[in-house]
Structure 1
Amino acid sequence: MAYDIQVGGYQLGMLDKVEIHSSVELLADTAKITLPAAEYNKALDVEEAIHRGDEVTIRLGYEETGLVTEFRGYLQRIDTDNGDLTLTCEDDLFLFRKPLKDAVLSKVTLSSLLSRIIREIGLSVKVSCTYSWTYSKFVIKSATAFDVLKKVQEECGADIYLKDGVLHLHAPGEHIGKERLYDFRYNIEAADLTYRKAEDKKYLITVRALLPDGKVREFEVGTPGGDKITIKCPSSDEVSMRLRAETELRRRTFDGYDGSIDTWLIPECQAGDSVELHDPDYPHKEGNYFVRSVTTEFSEEGGKRKVQLGFRLS
């Protein structure tokens, strides 16, 4: 096993463990680097050398196969706990933790809202937004650009991420990364999976929006009599409400596995990728799944990933 971790202008020579978490349901990917404090004499020595906002690059792998860049981002904070030093890091969305001016925006589309906050915090980032979503009113008060992105994600249920200088906002599974192949005989260490059928997972999704006159508009999808889920929608146009409802229903109803698989560092896997599962014992359960999240751990005990499956793609 091998690693190369750069924090600011320093390369880490000693390491206890690293944990990297990537999820399409959370705005930012995060990394926690745990250092043996005794090797650095005092926490103060580290805090004088590296600081919040320093760039962080984490490369992990094996000497035989080479290193892979698992994380790029910024140092968010340094913690001392039980004799260890923990460096908490956040991906490029750390740059959105800047305050915005208070404002009340009327009839603003998602694309124009995102472009506005990017300009205000001074980033040269482009926007790729495929949601035809319009806010009748959007209030910014004592908020950062990160707060705005979090509010948008919670209300529209979209995948939001920053990659290669582009802020993406898409419906779940609309943009898929690389395909990863896993076989229960070869590269799955353990599995916590339950196979379910869509007919056993019945939902009635109701999306509600408040109209200017105080009345409530509703849009429903799903199966009457199924588990009821009600979602508040800040936009009252039918296209936005339909998209929000269908997005939530797609996440919950499909024939396939719920759960996660435990794997090693190879193959590489990230949230937003697709996983092709091969099961020689149950061929009818094979399929392609959207990856909801990946937690990668690296320590003297080895390197492993927990891959959380999302909805079935095929």
Structure 2
Amino acid sequence: MTLAINTELLFKPKNGRAFSVFRVSEIEIESSWKMLTDTAKIVLPRNVRDFDKYKVGNVFKAGDKCVIKMGYNGELLTEFTGYIRKVSADYPITIELEDEMFQLKKLPVHFAYKGGSLKSFLAEIVKGIEVDCDADIQIGAMRFANTTLGAVLDTLQKDYSLYAFIRNGKLTTAKPYSDVKNDKSVYRFDLERNCVSNDLKYLSKEDRTIKIKATSVTGKGKKMEYEFGDENPKTTLNIKLDFGDKAAMEKEVKRLYDLHKKEGFDGAFTTLGMPSLQHGEKVSISSTLYPDRKGIYYIDRVVKKLSADGYRQEIEIGQVAKK
């Protein structure tokens, strides 16, 4: 079956009429729950005539909205919605974009918090967008003077390992693997059949060295810390837990350690542009050559690339969802 690649770039200037561009040389979109801001880069063909009589800077302006749609055989899906961050001064025209966080992270913040739930904290400082977070997570007292929401979210990540990102138009915090789509389907990939290539390694429990460093803040703002795991680990996880009891906290850390120590694949694989995948979803990975090496994994990162070479998705997997 022949697959014809289709694209549409819908630009929505702040001052002016919306317009679409259907010819591109390259598109690259990177998204991950570990990234505060998802990014995209568009390269337009040198011979696009639509803009010959205009100055590029007057057509594509920083802050203008852009929607990227890609697909096969006329079936387009919205793969990115964001704002122009930068436009190249020379040819070919290269446009760099950021998702809705482009606007959100600039919001001014001047706020003192006595401590309490993450949800109540975000409700005080985030305006204009719905917040989706775990209501039970507690944080300690914090003070932010004359700063921005982007700096606040960076602090939550560094001090509490609470990652924030945009998902389905919401500011999502501390929920990397939930509520990605209404469709709960798990897409299946056989490394020898429907993957273009892969850089996956199958690790035993002994090979998968890990250490977990946990922090917890009680309702009174007292901070507890506990770490458990292997010496000289390849992976260190900094996590925020909601436990007022040290023994319960230690038990949960050891449970998470056992969960991550499961044998399985590690790394990334490349597949075609469809089905469209997002970080936080589950994928089933199997191997025809090694039938015992199969499992279901969460997606940590997706890089979508479209060029003359085709339309591809690089999928970086995270922890095991179930075996």
Task: State the TM-score, normalized to the length of structure 2.
Answer: 0.80
Structure 1 unaligned runs (5+)? none
Larger displacement relative to structure 2 (229-238 or 155-164): 229-238
What SS does the aligned partner of 2:318 have?
A: strand
* Aligned residue number for residue 42 of structure 2: 33
Corresponding residue for residue 2 of structure 1: 6
The percentage of counterpart residues that share the same residue type is 24
> Do residues 264 (structure 1) and 272 (structure 2) align?
yes
1 CA distance for matches of 2:263 and 2:310? 34
C-alpha distance in structure 1 between counterparts of 2:264 and 2:188, whole Å:
16
More off after superposition, 291-300 vs 33-42: 33-42
The amino acid of 2:300's aligned partner reads R
Matched, 1:104 2:108: no
Offset of residue 154 of structure 1: 3.4
Which deviates the most, 23-32 or 100-109?
100-109
Q: Which amino acid aligns with 2:190?
A: D
SS of the aligned residue for 1:311 comes to: strand
- Maintained 8 Å contact 1:157/1:247: no
| Bigger mean CA deviation after superposition, 142-151 or 34-43 | 34-43
Tell me the CA shift for residue 147 of structure 1. 2.1
| Helix, strand or coil at the partner of 1:148 | helix
AA at the equivalent of 1:275: V
Between the two proteins, the alignment pairs up a number of residues equal to: 304
1:17 to 13, 18, 26: 26
2:304 match:
296
- Provide the residue aligned with 2:167 in structure 1: 163
Opposite residue 130 of structure 1, the aligned amino acid is D
Deviates more, 1:14-23 or 1:46-55: 46-55
**Counterpart check, 1:309 vs 2:317:** yes
In the superposition, relative to structure 1, how do residues 193 and 43 fare at CA in structure 2: closer, same or farther (>3 Å)? farther
Preserved contact between residue 250 and residue 311 of structure 1 (Cα < 8 Å): no
Q: Please state how far the C-alpha of 1:176 moved relative to its aligned partner.
A: 5.2
Classify the secondary structure of the residue corresponding to 2:101: helix
Structure 2 spans left out of the alignment, 5+ residues:
13-17
How far 1:251 sits from its partner (Å)?
8.5
What whole-Å deviation, never above 9, does each CA across 1:59-114 have from its counterpart, x for those lacking one?
11122x61121111222221236x32221111122221324243332214211121
Indicate the residue corresponding to 2:136 in structure 1.
132
Q: Which residue of structure 2 aligns with residue 286 of structure 1?
A: 294
AA aligned opposite 2:171: L
In the alignment, what sits opposite 2:60? 50
TM-score relative to the length of structure 1: 0.82
Q: Does 1:74 align with 2:83?
A: yes
Whichever structure has more helix as a proportion of its residues is 1
Contact 2:162 2:239 in 1 (8 A): no
Structure-1 separation of matches of 2:102 and 2:252? 27
